[in-house]
Structures are given as structure tokens and as C-alpha cells.
Structure 1
Amino acid sequence: MAFAEKCGRDSWRVRYHRDDGSIGSISGFPSKTAAQDKAAEIKVDQRRGKFIDPEAGKLALGEWSVTWFDSIDVAPATLAQYESLTRNHILPRWGNTSLSGVSGLAVHTWGKKLRAQGYAQNTVNTIIKIMTMMLVDATDERLIPVNPIQPRRRGRRRHQKRREQVWATPEQVVMIALQAASLVGPWAAVLIITAAWTGLGGVNSVVCSASTLISMPVADRCAVVAAFGGGSAGVAPGLGAPESA
């Protein structure tokens, strides 16, 4: 049940009954009509079981975290990690913020700042995950209407380190060329040396990687060199047009 009542010369408020029998209040309506409209909205939500008490969202996240930790059932190591990250990161920033005052955009901005401070991506992800779980459960307990932390769908780059490409030294290229010459023929050595020093042809992307031909079994090296040379292993192929070496 909800109703409107005058609470000042030019101000109205809405009073509503809570499930525990107490009466809540929402103030600040400039007219009786505005207060009555809000009261009608509350009545509909109460009948549908969807009413969220505005007072509930004023609970500080720090206070809610105590209740939340008492409710979760995780492995001891996981619990220790969650408690440490909450104590060292979440509470200093968000402990005094009301549940309804947490902004998803502000949380993602905070996560970006943590990464800029040098924290690992996995650590930041876990911190945001803990906050998300807290707020999801707060939503389930009808303390707030929705969880404000939602996945970012745009404006987010991948935080992955590019794999370093390892290139063969000149000495390693010569070693590969000599091995190719002994396995396939002198033409293979010419092809490899030309590709490595001039960049001509498609072979350079394979033979110039120290982690490829050098580590291959002998039979595989032979097959690769033959394939890039344009013929089968042990057969000297035609080298084609001059620009392909």
C-alpha cells in the first residue's frame, strides 16, 4: 500500500508499507498529482512483486560485503583471494559508496586505472568479477533494481601481449642453407640465402624464423625446402621468373 501526503507548504511525499510492517517514505514531490502518480506506481510494483525499496539501495557496499562474504561457499584459497582483493582494492575505493550509487561506467574506468598502475589484467578482471557478483546478489535480494556492471561492448581494446617473432641470425641462415644443400641440392641453398638477404619470395617467412627449420626433423626440413623451391625433395625445380629468385 502507498499513499501521498503533504509534508510542507509546497512539498509532497509518498509513504509506503514495507514487508516488515514499517513505513518508508519518498520526499521531494512538487505537487499532489506527482506524489499520487508515484504512489500508484509503487502499488502496481508491489502487486507484481517488483517493488524495490529505495532505502535498501542506500546500504554501503562495505556493509553489504560483510553479509555477502558470509553467504558464499567457495574453496578456502578462492575465499582468501577474494577477501584480499576486496580488502586492498574494492573497499578503499567503494566501501563507503551506496549500492545504488555504484556506476558501471565508473567501475570500468577504475579498472582501466588499475591496469595503468601496473596491475595484471587477470588481477583486474578478478576484482571486477568480485564486485559484479556482489551486485548481482544485491539485485537478487532486491536491494537494487539491476546490476550496474555490464560487459563492455565497444571502446575496449584487447589487452594481450603480442608474441615476439624470433628471427634467425646470419650464421643460422647459412647453417640452414648448408643443410638444405646437402639434403636437396645447391639450388636450395641459393634460394634460402637469396630470400633471407633480399626478402624475395615467400620462403623468407619460414626459413628466417629460428624456431622453424632449425628445430625440424631432417625429413621435414627437406619437404619444406622442396615445397618452397617449387619441386619435390631431391629434384631441382625450375626457379621461374627472375623476380622470384
Structure 2
Amino acid sequence: MAYAEKVYKVRNGKATKQFTWRSRYKKPDGTWGTQPGFDTKRLAEDYGNQQEALIKMYQWVDPERAEMHFGKWAREWMASRAPRGRTITTRWDRLDTHILPRWEHTPLIKVNWFDAEAWANSVSLTHDDSTASQCLTLMSQIMTGAVDAGCILVNPLAGRRRSRPAAVKQRIQQKATARAEGEARAADPERLLRVARRLGPLDGTHLLTTAFAGPRWGEGLALTKEDSLGERKEPHWGGFFTCPTLQLRQEVAEYQTRDPATGKKGPMFFGLEPLKTDGSLRDVDLPPFLHELILAQIERLPEKVSWLYCTRSGKCWRGSNFGRQVMRPACDGREALPKSKGHRAREKWDPIIPGMTMDLLRHTHDTYQAQIGVAEPLAFEQAGHRRPGIKAVYQHPTPDMRKQRLEGLQEIFERAMSNLGWDQIWEKSELISGIPPKRSLGAGKRAPRARSVA
């Protein structure tokens, strides 16, 4: 039963005759809760009775927990999570750079949608709009954790849709227009093959694998000579459908590590991690030409090299180095350099596909799938995307869908080769510094097609 007690004011270390009332009520754990500052005994008792009534209805929230600062709770929440390392790093980047400078000392009970939306729109004016949305999403996850922990009753950010003011919409449209005018899109196969020839077999095969099989950057780096290729075998019309596959089972990740509890920066991480989602764990069906090129790549690499796609010294690529040393010169062009001490002469390269990246090559793969009419169940599976909706439960890829996809990708390749007047991608065996080839990588020799066998 709640009750009230007098609290005498103190002046110069001595109690005076003036007093206020303090409410006392029993908390769920059996201890006594307290709330001071009431003018009358009746107000204090009413407050205590209300708390005990809420406790009986399982709707009570400890006022001390509700007054906890957002920053303190965010650190508790982060310490209790255990996602992949890159996810921890990204969350701490958002907290340190954007969220905590504004919300660090705000009590949980005082976080509301009106202030959060206005703040997110201010972030959109100086950063990408997606950054502001990601910050709101992370804040909502943290506030949901506060509800689950009994700090607050309701997450005020859950399920809310942000409305953007005119200034933010204008900035988004300006960025979209600039991106559409200056950014490379899906690559046409003829220019793609020209870049592959320019790069040579080692990096050119990597380029074509991304464009025609669609592994993510980290997934492609994690491919090894021993485990990259497999075979699909499915019942089909009284026999079996078989085709070679690219087995994606892990990825190479590179990021700045963070202490999960404090956010303190640690050393850089560069190594293998599990794939992010179940949908990313997949076998990608390979068209005949690409299967042949990957077999040749495996044959070409020395025994001591494990990675399928690697540097000239056989080591795993770093993303920034690959972009600077391989993609940018091959796609954007480069100036000629005369021979000098320690450097051989370098010919001039004209631009072929300015702005092309490995991520856009993955876009190219999915665009090719749409171009040849790949059925949705198979298109989502091969790209490693999670298909939304109930159709993801009811529809599944079939051998006929797979055959149609492989024939379509093979036709794109063969038509591009014909348009260029080539019978093989690389004109001759090319010596690669540190990794000598064992045989020519021409595309003239045919690999077995996907087939149905009785």
C-alpha cells in the first residue's frame, strides 16, 4: 500500500519547519520506490497508488530508467548486440558522427518523433539522405531495445515515415540528376570485353565473372581454386539437368574494428567472414564460356596461390588498391609514360567505360538477367537477393528456367564477340608478372553446355 511521508527543507545545515511530501510505493522486486516534491499528502498518495496500479497491470516503467540518457542506453544496447564486425563498425560510425552529438544527454522518455524527424532532415541537408534514414533506423532499433528492457513503454520512432521538406527534396533531386548524368550504368558487353582484353587474363577473368555471375566484391575475393567450382544436378524430364556452378560460401571483409561496448577504434580487420544473409549463400549457374575461363584461371595460377582472383604476387586484393591500380586505368584511361629508371614505358589508354566499378558490374549482371527475361525466382536466387512477398514462398527455380538463363547469357557473350570480330578474348598467352600462364585463355574452345541427360 502506497503512503506519503514529510520531507523537511534544510537551510544552513538545519531542518526548517517547511516541508514537502514524498510518495512511497512498492516496486515489482519488493523494494520501495520513491518520488519527492509533492505539495500535499493527497497528491503524494495518489501518485504512489497509480504506480502500484500500473505494476499490477504490468504497465509500469521505472522513472529512473525512463530518465536514463540516450547515450548511456545506446552504449548498453550496443554492448549486448553481436552482429558481424562490419555492422558494428557502421553503427558506431553513425552514432559517433551524427546521433550522439545531438541525442547523447537526452532522457529516453523525452525522445519523440517530432524532434527526431526535424533533426534527420537537418542531417539530409549536409549529408546523403540515406545517411539520415540509416541514423533514424538505428535510433529506432535502440529505442525498441529500451522498450524491451522496460525503460520506456513505447518506441515513439517505430513505424513512422519521414516527411521531407522542400529543401531536402530539392537536394535529393539535384544529386539524382548529377548521378544520372555522370555515373556509369550497366555495361554493354562489347565494351566490357574490350576492358577485359586490356586487363589481361588474370584481372579480365575477374571482371567477366562479376559481370556474368554477379558475386559481390567480397564474395568474389573469397573464391579459392579448390572450392570455387561445383556442379548442379537436378531431376528433369525423366533424367537430370546438370550445369557447372560458382560456389559462394564466404566473403572477404575489410573494415575498422570497434569495441562493441565503447565504440573505441581498434586495428583494421582484413579477412574472411560468413556471408551476411542466408540468401547470399548460393550456387550461381555458369554459362559455358565463363566456366571455361574460370577453369583456365585455376590452371594458370601457381600451386602456392590459393585465391582465384588475386594480385600479381598472389595475395588477396584490397578494395582501394584494385580500384586505383586496375579499374580506373582500364575503364577511365591513362596517360602515356616514357621509360625511366625503375619503370618501363607505358602506353596511353583511351577511356572505354568511364566510372565503371565492380559494384556496377554486379548491376550489369542483374540487368542482363532482366534483358533475357530470367524468371523472378531464379533472378533473385542468382543475385543473392531476398525476394519479398508471398511469391517467395510459393515459387521456385526450375531446370528449364536455369537453361533459359544460361543460354541467354551465352548468347550475349557470343553476339558481343561476333560484333567485335573476335574468336577469342585474349589474342595470345600473356605473361603476368609473378604468375606465368600455363596455356592460352582464348574463348574459341567451347566448354560443355548445360544439358539434360537421361
Q: Bin the TM-score by the shorter chain.
A: 0.5 to 0.7
Q: State the SS of the aligned residue for 1:161.
A: helix
CA drift of 1:7 comes to 2.0
Give TM-score, length-normalised by structure 1: 0.59
Equivalence map 1:58-69=2 (5 Å): 58-69=67-78
The gaps in structure 2 that reach 5 residues or longer are: 9-17, 181-454
CA drift of 1:37 comes to 1.5
Greater alpha carbon shift after TM alignment, 144-153 vs 96-105: 144-153
Q: Which has the higher helix share?
A: 1
Q: State the SS of the aligned residue for 1:132.
A: helix
The gaps in structure 1 that reach 5 residues or longer are: 167-245
1:56 to 2:65 alignment: yes
Say which of 14, 17, 31 aligns to 2:26.
17
8 Å CA contact retained: 1:15, 1:26: yes
Equivalence map 1:47-196=2 (5 Å): 47-117=56-126, 119-150=127-158, 151-152=160-161, 159=169, 161=173
Letter in 2 for 1:142: G
Q: Deviations over 1:86-133 (max 9, x none)?
A: 11111121112221232321111111111112x111110000111111
Q: Deviations over 1:137-163 (max 9, x none)?
A: 101111112223251487766845287
CA distance, structure 2, for counterparts of residue 11 and residue 104 of structure 1:
35
Letter in 1 for 2:3: F
Letter in 2 for 1:144: I
CA drift of 1:81 comes to 0.8
CA distance, structure 1, for counterparts of residue 125 and residue 164 of structure 2:
16
Aligned length: 164
8 Å CA contact retained: 1:10, 1:31: no
Q: Deviations over 1:41-68 (max 9, x none)?
A: 1111111121111111122211111210
Larger radius of gyration: 1
Give TM-score, length-normalised by structure 2: 0.33
Residue 35 of structure 1 corresponds to which residue in structure 2?
44
8 Å CA contact retained: 1:103, 1:149: yes
Q: State the SS of the aligned residue for 2:173.
A: coil
| Greater RCO, 1 or 2 (C-alpha within 8 Å, sep 6+) | 2
Q: Percent identity?
A: 27
Letter in 2 for 1:130: L
CA drift of 1:25 comes to 1.4
Q: What is the alpha-carbon root mean square deviation over aligned residues?
A: 2.5
